[in-house]
Structure formats: structure tokens, C-alpha cells
């Protein structure tokens, strides 16, 4: 089943109206709704009030840089040009300028998560606890505790369905750390390249493994302690294990 494009998820997270077909998909797809919810939390964290006034058009190089860094191809559309705008239309234009900036942030968060480091990923098959993944287990590994969480333990399994691969993570005694969150990664054997697959909320989570990720190349399952606002791996891992070949 095809899921909503990142641009659509970004618009939904901003409270914008999406196409009827996308709205119908969101109504029936828990995974996409979870993506929107997690992205909305990120947008809320960076949202600022836009004062009333004429919009300030950013230079074209701003969106070009975002697109080049993230692979997002659809640029936000500017409001239709017109003349004789009243005070209300000026305020609406100001809000649109703010929404353009937030859409760029939202799209960047989604796209960067797919290629190597974002606070929100497709998310990145979001990792909120939910129904268990269904399908055969094709690989399983115990997660060893590292010094930052010496009492913790866990396990990870790869479950294959007809349309996707899911990484199922189950941990215990990890504990909450105020002001931080746990993120799940797939890492290569040299620990040089890594792909975030989602944020772990609670003691278990189910994450969709991107189709582009070869588990033979990225067999290490890693859980790290992250600070909000930095998409890079913190270097503070708490659990780790290597999937069998």
C-alpha cells in the first residue's frame, strides 16, 4: 500500500488541507497518522509567531539549499499575486510566509531522516508503541547494555511482511532521562555510516526499515540517548547488537 509523500505529511502536520485521496489514506493509515503526529511535535517546537505585515520573500537560494541537502523536490507555492490587498490579506500573506518556512523545516526533517540523521524520520516509521508487526521473523539479536545503561537489556527482530520490513525493538530497565529521547539506528560494521529508523517511546517500538537499506551493510542495531535539535548520532549509545548475516 503506497503511503503519503513527505510533502503531504508536512502539510498535514502544519494543519493545511491535503488532497481528498491523501486525507482518506491518512484516515485509515495508523503509520502515516503517527508520522504526522511526530512531525507536528517537531514543528511545534520550532514554531514562532509571525507578526502581521507584508511577507518577506526569501532568496531562491534558500529553498535551493534545502532541496539540495534533503532531496525534497516540491517547493512551497507562493500565494497568488494580486492588487489592492486589504489588511486581512496582508496578515494572511504574513502567515503564509511563516508556513513556507515551517514547511521547509518539516520537509527537511522527513527527508533527512531517510538518508542519515533527523529528529523525525519516517520516522521514519515512528516508534510509538502499537500493534505488533505481523510476518515471519527473519533475524533476531540480543542488545547488549553499554556503560551508560549498565542495567538495561533488550532485543531486536526483523519481521518481513508482504510489503515491508519492520524492526521490532523491545527493551527493559532503560529508564527515562529528562530532556532527552532514545533513537534507534542501523549502523555499518565499521560504525562510520548510520541510518536512523525512529524514536523509541516506552519499552517497545516497531519501525519500518527503508527499502534502500541493505541489512547486510547495516547490521548493527543501536539505541542512543539524543538531545532535541541535533540530528546527528550523539555518540552516547546505551544498547547495541549485530544482526546475524
Q: Is the same domain home to 89 and 185? A: no
Is 64 a domain residue?
Answer: yes
User: Looking at 65, 84, 115, which one is the last position of a domain?
Assistant: 115
Is 124 a domain residue?
Answer: no
Q: What is the pLDDT of residue 4?
A: 80
pLDDT band, very low/low/confident/very high, at 69 (cuts 50, 70, 90): low
Q: Is the same domain home to 89 and 31? A: yes
Is 125 a domain residue?
Answer: no
Domain count, the chain: 2
0.85 surpassed by pTM: no
User: Looking at 115, 146, 165, which one is the last position of a domain?
Assistant: 115
- 162-205 residue pLDDT tens: 888 999 999 999 988 889 999 999 999 998 999 999 999 899 99
- CATH code assigned at 164: 2.60.40
Structural domain of 23: 6-115
- 150-165 residue pLDDT tens: 999 999 999 998 888 9
Cβ 205 vs Cβ 184: under 8 Å: yes
Task: Count CA within 13 A, CB hemisphere, residue 172.
Answer: 3
Phi, psi at 37, each rounded to 5°: -60, -45
Report whether pLDDT(2) > 60. yes
Q: What is the pLDDT of residue 199?
A: 92
CB within 8 Å of 147: residues ≥ 6 apart:
none
Amino acid at each position: 500500500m503506497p503511503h503519503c509523500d513527505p510533502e503531504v505529511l508536512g502539510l498535514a502536520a502544519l494543519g493545511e488541507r491535503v488532497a481528498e485521496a491523501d486525507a482518506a489514506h491518512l484516515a485509515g493509515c495508523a503509520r502515516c497518522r503517527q508520522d504526522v503526529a511526530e512531525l507536528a511535535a517537531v514543528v511545534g517546537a520550532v514554531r514562532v509567531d509571525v507578526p502581521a505585515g507584508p511577507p518577506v520573500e526569501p532568496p531562491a537560494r534558500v529553498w535551493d539549499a534545502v532541496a539540495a541537502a534533503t532531496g525534497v523536490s516540491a517547493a512551497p507555492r507562493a500565494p497568488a499575486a494580486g492588487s489592492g490587498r486589504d489588511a486581512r490579506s496582508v496578515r494572511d500573506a504574513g502567515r503564509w510566509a511563516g508556513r513556507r518556512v515551517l514547511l521547509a523545516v518539516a520537509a527537511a526533517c522527513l527527508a533527512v531522516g531517510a538518508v542519515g540523521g533527523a529528529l523525525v524520520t519516517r520516522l521514519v516509521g515512528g516508534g510509538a508503541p502499537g500493534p505488533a508487526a505481523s510476518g515471519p521473523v527473519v533475524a533476531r539479536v540480543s542488545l547488549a547494555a553499554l556503560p551508560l545503561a549498565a542495567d538495561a537489556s533488550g532485543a531486536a527482530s526483523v519481521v518481513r511482511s508482504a510489503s515491508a520490513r519492520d524492526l521490532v525493538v523491545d527493551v527493559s530497565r532503560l529508564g527515562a532521562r529528562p530532556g532527552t529521547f532514545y533513537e534507534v539506528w542501523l549502523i555499518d560494521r565499521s560504525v562510520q555510516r548510520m541510518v536512523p529508523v525512529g524514536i523509541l517511546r516506552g519499552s517497545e517500538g516497531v519501525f519500518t526499515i527503508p527499502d534502500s537499506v541493505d541489512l547486510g551493510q547495516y547490521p548493527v542495531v543501536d539505541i542512543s540517548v539524543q538531545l532535541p535539535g541535533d540530528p546527528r548520532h550523539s555518540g552516547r549509545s546505551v544498547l547495541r547488537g549485530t544482526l546475524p548475516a
